Amino acid sequence: MSCAHSYVPQLRARGYRMTPQRLAILHVLHHSGRHLSPSEVYEQARMELPSLTETTVYRTLDFLAENGLARPAYMGSGRLVYEIARHEHHHLKCRNCGHEMEVQHDLLKTLYRQLESETGYRLTDSHVTFFGLCSDCQKGE
C-alpha cells in the first residue's frame, strides 16, 4: 500500500491523519486506473482491510472528494463513481459501445471562464462527461 502514503502530506497539511480505512481506499483508487462505484471500492478495499464497512467507504469517499484526493463523477449510468484525483480532466463516452476517452481540461478552460463570467458562479468542480458516438460506432451506422 506504499503508493497511498504519498497522500499523507496532503492530509496532514489540512490537519487530518491517514487512517487505515483512508489508506486502503486510496490504494484501491490509485491502482484502479478507472472509475469505481462505492460498492466496487468496498469489495476491493475489504481484501486489504477485512473489517471495513460499506458505510465507512461511502463516508471516506466523500471525505477524500472534499479534500481533493478523489474525484466523484456521473458517467452516464446514473450512479456516482470515483477515481483518484491526479489531474483535471474530462471524458468522452460512447453511448453505443461504452468506450471512454480522457480529455485534458485545457481544452475547456475558456468555456469554464466564460461560464463563470456570464453566470457569476465560481466553478468548484471540473469534471464533465460528454456523450456521443466514437469513430468505430459511427462507421457502423
Measured at the alpha carbon of residue 61, what is the angle toward residues 56 and 66, in degrees to the nearest 5?
125
- The backbone region for 15, taken as left when phi is positive above 0, alpha when psi lies in -120 to 50, beta otherwise, is left
> Which residues lie across from 131 on neighbouring strands?
93
Residue position matching grid coordinates 489531474? 87
How confident is the model at residue 2, as a pLDDT? Answer: 59
CATH topology of domain 2-84: Arc Repressor Mutant, subunit A (1.10.10)
Nearest to 100 by CA among 88, 92, 108: 92
Domain boundaries, the chain: 2-84, 89-139
How confident is the model at residue 92, as a pLDDT? Answer: 87
How confident is the model at residue 109, as a pLDDT? Answer: 86
Q: Give the containing element (helix H, strand E) for 94.
A: strand 89-94
CATH topology of domain 89-139: Dna Ligase; domain 1 (3.30.1490)
How confident is the model at residue 4, as a pLDDT? Answer: 65
Distance CA 141, CA 130 (A): 20
How confident is the model at residue 90, as a pLDDT? Answer: 80
From first to last of the 141 residues of the chain, give the pLDDT tens digit. 457 678 888 899 999 999 999 999 999 999 987 889 999 999 999 999 999 999 999 999 999 999 989 988 876 667 888 988 877 778 888 989 988 888 888 888 888 899 999 999 988 766 788 899 999 999 887
